[in-house]
Amino acid sequence: MRKRTLVYLGANKGGSLSKYVDKFDRIYAFEANPDLCLLLKEKFSNKKNVHIINAIVGEKDGSNILNIGSNLSTSSVGLFNEDFTNSSGGKLKMIDKRTVEEIYLPRFLKEMEVDKIDLYVSDIQGSDLTVLKSLSTYIIRKKIKVIISEVAKEKNIYDGLGSNSYDDFEMLLNKNYNCVSKGWGTLKRGEFKEVPETWWEFDCMWELK
């Protein structure tokens, strides 16, 4: 019997990940922040199906600089755009840098013999679309059943990164996927919430047509 697989990018402190641990046979959860990764490994130490990987998921194998935000839950390979309200208003800023291993996801999945992904979750602070594009073969072959990702309304709040806009996600996915939910937090199929006007980002769910 084929194993049900979850790929989770940006596991943070594991709050959202926790609701999935008993629903999948194998979970590959990535967290770039080394300190948060230690917490995750301790939290899920008794879950043999959960594999915690301390790495940036990016466009190559190697290493990269991770910028860590003052709330410790926001880490990115990019830096805040000067127009981002929370940054320009002093509520959030980058306070630390770490050199972290970078992993090219298609290579990793091939090595793990992951041919099909039942659920793909991405919350990697401005790099979500860039990484998803690297999985174009999976998308074209309809090998990802459900995709949940953070997206930008329009402009990426992180400088130095590619587009993360909803429109560009749709351009990548609309041939094989339908957007079935928008909002924040726990998404429900068929529910489309409008986020506050001041928010730059929101969450979306796509399902195979």
Cα first-last separation, the chain: 24
- According to DSSP H, which parts of the chain are helical? 34-43, 85-88, 105-111, 128-134, 136-140, 166-173
Q: Is the pLDDT of residue 2 over 70?
A: no
Question: Which residues on neighbouring strands pair with residue 66, listed in sequence order?
Answer: 98
Q: Answer yes or no: is 182 within a domain.
A: yes
Label residue 204 by pLDDT band (50, 70, 90): very high
Range of the domain at 120: 5-60+104-208
pLDDT digits (tens, 9 = 90+) for 110-161: 999 999 999 999 999 999 999 999 999 999 999 999 999 999 999 999 999 9
Q: Is 161 helix (H, G, I), strand (E, B) or coil?
A: coil
Q: Answer yes or no: is 80 within a domain.
A: no
Closest CA to 124 of 70, 59, 74, 180: 74
171: left (phi over 0), alpha (psi -120 to 50) or beta: alpha
Q: Answer yes or no: is 82 within a domain.
A: no
How many CB atoms are closer than 10 A to CB 112? 13
The confidence score (pLDDT) of residue 206 equals 98
Number of structural domains the chain divides into: 1
Q: Answer yes or no: is 67 within a domain.
A: no
Q: Answer yes or no: is 87 within a domain.
A: no
Q: What is the pTM of this model?
A: 0.96
CA 66 to CA 64: how far, in whole Å? 6
Instruction: List the single range of 1-10, 26-35, 66-75, 87-96 with lowest mean pLDDT.
Output: 87-96
CB 10 within 8 A of CB 125: yes
DSSP sequence for 35-52: HHHHHHHHHTTT-TTEEE
Q: Answer yes or no: is 191 within a domain.
A: yes
The CATH number covering residue 201 comes to 3.40.50.150
CA 13 to CA 17: how far, in whole Å? 9
Q: Answer yes or no: is 18 within a domain.
A: yes
The confidence score (pLDDT) of residue 14 equals 95
pLDDT average, residue stretch 11-33: 96
